[in-house]
Structure 1
Amino acid sequence: MTALPHSYKDPLLTLQDVSMQFGSEVILRDLNVQVLDVIRPGISQGQVVGIYGRSGIGKSVLCRLLSGLAAPSTGTVRVGEAQQPVQPGAVGYVQQRYPLFNHLTLRDNLLLAAHRKHDPAEAQARTTDYLARFGLTAHARKYPAHLSGGQRQRAAIAQQLLCSEHLILLDEPFSGLDVAMIDEVKRLILEVTTMNELNTVLIVSHDIATTAALADRLWLLAPERDPATGQLLPGATISPRHQYNLAQLGLAWHPDVEAEPEFTQFVEGIKAEIRGS
């Protein structure tokens, strides 16, 4: 497949020499990865990064580091155009249960988030805009308990976008969903990325094919072997060979990419890497 025209600007997310250990147990080791602002001619295009790894490899720990909820043992996580050290709230973290305040209406949940970044008038305007953008206006006065799972997910993503710095981390967004709901979530993610070219969606998922079809960049979290001894090194990392640029491979931004043989071959290769890790 032919790569669509694109170029890159400044970094929006940087992990530099990041390691994490608990006591003597090394969980993550020497993470050096970066997300750059991608530019497509005539299109407002955000970034989608897929993050994979077998169960127990350290993805949950990585999520906490990316969201600023935990500090790495060594190294730094920097976010945004200014590349400041990540703080809690800078990266919107949408967990599987779609946490919302149950005692607040949907509108008040979003308004509370908007007030964290904007003055009262701007917060009101942005809340109204996001309710419309995410198809939630008719449900604005409902409480979370009265929303469907899909509505709660849309609300949680809108909430985090309103209070974060253009970065959203989705933890298993396709888990337990039927085909129709998966398609709805895919449309939602694509809409988020076209709202602002700085919007960056990080997807941690076991659904490799679905995530790869949305992503322009993939990271595989896996252990590495010592080249001298062949022994597994402690902790997981994202080595250069496990950082895949789907845009350069011609697999990004194609609506029907999942039907292409090149895409199927790529996904099967990733699965083989995971099985061998």
Structure 2
Amino acid sequence: MEYSKNECILKIDNVSLTLDNKIILQNVNAEIKNIVRPGMTQGQVVGFLGPSGVGKTKLFEIMAGLLKPTSGEVYVGEAQKLVAPGRMGVVQQNYPLFHHRTVMGNLEIAAKKTISDPQKRKDKIFEMLDRFHLRQHTNMYPAQLSGGQKQRIAIAQQLLCSDNFLLMDEPFSGLDINMVDEVSEMICEISNAHEHNTIIIVSHDIVSTAAISDTLWIMGRDRDAQNNIIPGAKIKHTFDLIERGLAWQPDIKKIPAFNDLINEVRDLFLYL
């Protein structure tokens, strides 16, 4: 499998966070590099896992530019600019759409942030509607849509107004198995629609997340000699699934090495 990892397109640089005198994050460091595969458009998916209460949500907010860390920075894009609100698309669990606006109205608001020309804006919106199989729902309101349709609109909305990055909070939560498969396919399709498209999934669903990721970040805390937790979480383990031959594989869940990976991650959770 021929590929290369080139320039850095996201860097978490020594990020720490203290809130109300409580250390939440301590010296968090991670990088995402542009993956290049000859003859292919290859984006990427990073799965971001960790026990409940470990600080994933706060790091999620820092990566999105919604929360300022106590120290450290997050840089995004080829130019490695400091992250700011709007540079990252954020899709949260409740899909915060404007309920008094149609699908077209919701997407129009998002597109205005990045596309000034009305015709180009309209063309881009219809491109998104077609990509997410939503054109027939253009004039419908969110209350008339299914949960899956709302999720697709929320994703399209964020792609229209952000900079090739999409942060997704628990995208598999509460879905039946068929919907999990549909959402997984959609995430892979989005990531591969542009070379720099980068999707970071924060999830408790280890299997579904690992199945579509090319990198896994496992967040946790260190322990002292007496096995007491040391305050301040960090990215403790990084799994390069490309090197393991577990990325971009059809029917990945049927591969024995994938099941070994899942067991390895689950075992790590016991000590995080």
Distance 2:119 2:75 in 1: 30
Shift of 1:53: 0.6
Matched, 1:19 2:26: no
Matched, 1:63 2:85: no
TM-score, reference length from structure 1: 0.95
Identity %: 45
Distance 2:221 2:173 in 1: 25
- What SS does the aligned partner of 1:276 have? coil
Distance 1:216 1:106 in 2: 32
Distance 1:121 1:75 in 2: 41
| Structure 2 match to 1:200 | 198
Letter in 1 for 2:128: Y
Matched, 1:189 2:184: no
Deviations 1:118-161 (A, max 9, x none): 12222111001000000000001001111110000000001001
| Structure 2 match to 1:38 | 35
- What SS does the aligned partner of 1:225 have? coil
The question of whether the paired residues in 1 share the 8 Å contact of 2:44 and 2:192 is answered with: no
Shift of 1:233: 2.2
Distance 2:250 2:203 in 1: 20
Distance 1:229 1:72 in 2: 30
Among residues 75, 78, 90, which one is paired with 2:75 in the alignment? 78
Moved over 6 A (4+): none
Shift of 1:12: 1.2
Among residues 243, 249, 258, which one is paired with 2:253 in the alignment? 258
Runs of 5+ unmatched residues, structure 1: none
Matched, 1:275 2:270: yes
Runs of 5+ unmatched residues, structure 2: none
Distance 1:72 1:121 in 2: 40
Shift of 1:230: 5.6
Once superposed, what is the RMSD of the aligned Cα atoms?
A: 1.1
Letter in 2 for 1:172: E
TM-score, reference length from structure 2: 0.97
Distance 1:204 1:25 in 2: 23
Shift of 1:229: 6.9
Shift of 1:95: 0.3
